[in-house]
Amino acid sequence: MRYICISLIFISSVLILSGQSTILHCGQLIDMTNELVQSEMTIVIQSDSIVSITPGYTEAGEEDKVIDLRTKTVLPGFMDMHVHIEHESSPSRYLDKFRKNKSDMALDAVKFCKRTLMAGFTTVRDLGGTGVNVSLRDAIQEGDIIGPRIFTAEKSIATTGGHADPTNGVKYELKGDPGPKEGVINSAEDAYKAFRQRYKMGADCIKITATGGVLSVAKDGQGPQFTVNEVKAVVDAANDYNFVTAAHAHGAEGMKRAVLGGIHSIEHGTKMTPEVMDLMIERGTYYVPTISAGRFVAEKAKQPGYYPAIIVPKALEIGPKIQETFSKAHKAGVKIAFGTDAGVSPHGDNALEFIYMTEGGMSNFDALKTATVNAAELMRISDDHGTIEKGKTADIIALDSNPLEDINAVMQVAFVMKSGHIYKMKK
């Protein structure tokens, strides 16, 4: 039996363990099937799967590898249901789309992917980009770059002039008339074609922009931008392919239309009303709050020149409200899944969302549940992800201390395993 001491951090390459089994000796285990903290547990992994979980520190065979996590708290890998992995906020962001090629974006995104995984997030849902996100997903799957498992929406679906119309804010000669191929619709028929184009381009989930947005170069940040029939058409098309759908929404009317149209999750939800909350509870619609993004844009809007002038009043109005809305929705019983909008806020700081959730009144365990059990349910991957159980994929992280006692522990990730491969180890 050989012990591998947790003394190194692997940043530039993945350590792939050979041998019959990988054995984790866990000082504390929170498997997320319940709130129980189990002490002195052993997890045995073969290939990419968990084959057993037993009390005590099980002895290993001659060819087995033992990972000493006896001073750590072990949990399932975290999942972030709202990121934009291609880019990251900066004062030059709006000029970069004219200055940077997709290849430049891809190179930048490699570091964002690595940063996200090293922060303990083994799975993310990327909700809109330029198509680089699809290539990133595939490169990670092939082992060419380091990053989380990505479920991507490819390009968000918008209405003409709406949030995610790619020609907002450019001069007339460049505006053109983007349509379903570019992810812009104006009818139910367009909606079907736009979805099918996303499928063709490699998406595995779908996002619509049901209201105006804070960071689009357009005046309206919250008005409804889809009809119920347009939403329903997107969702019906997505359901044919078993795709999960998400709706960016700040204003209540746009949210209501999205929920009535059958959308699976509401993102941001800033001005959510009790009526919308009740409707979401009735229909089982998830809420992905993105408190991190709200706080970030509200802070940066006070910095002269960080955002174009048309964005500043929207950011100052909408950004500070998300945490308060989260608190109300949580108390009302709306189902909540974890999401940060990372890319708007910095990649790698994703776990701050846990802290903001607990500040908003959620228990530490329930906050952790949003990024494990709930996220897996939303994405329909609960059979393989979300908890540490026999037969599930070996997405496992370890923290320096117990996050049920101090939620700030989520910021100190000591160990990351994704699909049975170790990507991070430190003392």
Quickly state the pLDDT bin for 6 (edges 50, 70, 90): very low
- pLDDT of 10 over the 50 cut: no
Residue labelled with tokens 């498992």: 149
Q: Per DSSP, what are the bridge partners of residue 288?
A: 267
Is the per-residue pLDDT at 107 higher than 80? yes
- Residue pair 304/213 in contact (Cβ under 8 Å)? The answer is no
pLDDT bin (cut points 50, 70, 90) of residue 179 is confident
Task: Quickly tell me which residue has 């804070």 as its tokens.
Answer: 214
Residue 401 has pLDDT above 50, yes or no: yes
pLDDT range class, residue 213, cuts 50, 70, 90: confident
Which pLDDT does position 48 carry in this prediction? Answer: 96
Q: Which residue has the higher pLDDT, 191 or 3?
A: 191
The CATH class given to the 78-378 domain equals alpha beta
Q: Which pLDDT score, from 0 to 100, does residue 171 have?
A: 72
Helix 274-283 with 252-260: angle, nearest 10 deg? 20
Average the pLDDT over 259-276 and give the result: 97
Amino acid, res. 210: A
Sheet containing 286-288: give its strands across. 206-209, 245-249, 265-268, 286-288
What is the biggest distance separating any 2 CA atoms in the chain, rounded to whole angstroms? Answer: 70
User: Quick check: 268 pLDDT over 90?
Assistant: yes
Band (374; pLDDT cuts 50, 70, 90)? very high
pLDDT over 70 percentage in the chain: 93
Q: Confidence class of residue 221 from pLDDT cuts 50, 70 and 90?
A: low
- Reported pTM: 0.92
Domain boundaries, the chain: 2-76+386-425, 78-378
Average pLDDT over the chain reads: 91
| pLDDT higher than 50, residue 17 | no
pLDDT recorded at residue 19: 54
**Which pLDDT band holds residue 16 (cuts at 50, 70, 90)?**
very low
Lowest mean pLDDT among 65-79, 209-223, 355-369: 209-223
Mean pLDDT, range 67-82, rounded to an integer: 98
| pLDDT tens, position by position, 81-97 | 999 999 998 787 777 77
Residue 12 CA to residue 423 CA, distance in Å, equals 9
In CATH terms, is domain 2-76+386-425 a member of 1.20.1250.20? no
Phi, psi of 288 (to 5 degrees): -115, 100
Instruction: Taking residues 384-390, report their average pLDDT.
Output: 98
Kindly report, residue by residue over 311-341, the tens digit of the pLDDT: 888 888 888 899 999 999 999 999 999 999 9
Amino acid at site 369: K
Closest CA to 177 of 187, 169, 167: 167
* CATH topology agreement for domains 2-76+386-425 and 78-378: no
Task: Give the residue from 31, 2, 22, 66 showing the smallest Cα distance to 419.
Answer: 22
Q: What is the pLDDT of residue 318?
A: 83
Contacts for 170 with CB less than 8 Å, ≥ 6 apart: none
